[in-house]
Amino acid sequence: MAEAAVQEKVYTIDDIYALPDGERAELIDGKIYYMAPPGRTHQKISWKLHQAIGNYIDSKGGQCEVYAAPFAVFLSEDDINYIEPDISVICDTSKLDEKGCHGAPDWIIEVVSPGSKRMDYYTKLFKYRTAGVKEYWIVDYEKNCITVYDFQNDSGDDYTFSDTIPVGIYPDLEIDLSKINK
State pTM to two decimals.
0.92
- Say how far apart CA 176 and CA 161 lie, in whole Å: 8
Q: Is the pLDDT of residue 16 over 70?
A: yes
> What are the tens digits of pLDDT across the range 172-181?
999 998 887 6
Q: Is the pLDDT of residue 7 over 70?
A: no
Nearest CA among 100, 85, 182 for reference residue 141: 182
Spatial contact of 141 and 159, defined as CB atoms under 8 Å apart: no
Q: What is the pLDDT of residue 115?
A: 81
Average pLDDT, the chain: 92
- Say how far apart CA 48 and CA 40 lie, in whole Å: 12
- Say how far apart CA 84 and CA 23 lie, in whole Å: 13
**DSSP state, 177?**
G
Higher pLDDT, 40 or 4: 40
99-108: average pLDDT:
97
145-169: average pLDDT:
95
Helices and strands per DSSP (H, E), number in the chain: 4, 13
Q: What is the pLDDT of residue 2?
A: 54
> What are the tens digits of pLDDT across the range 50-70?
999 999 999 999 999 999 999
Q: Is the pLDDT of residue 6 over 80?
A: no
Spatial contact of 159 and 165, defined as CB atoms under 8 Å apart: yes
In the three-class reduction of DSSP (H, G, I as helix; E, B as strand; rest coil), residue 181 is classed as coil
Q: What is the pLDDT of residue 88?
A: 98
Nearest CA among 110, 81, 92, 94 for reference residue 169: 92
- In the 3-class helix/strand/coil scheme, how is 47-70 assigned residue by residue? HHHHHHHHHHHHHHCCCCEEEECC
Q: What is the pLDDT of residue 60?
A: 93
Identity of the residue numbered 60: K
In the three-class reduction of DSSP (H, G, I as helix; E, B as strand; rest coil), residue 175 is classed as strand
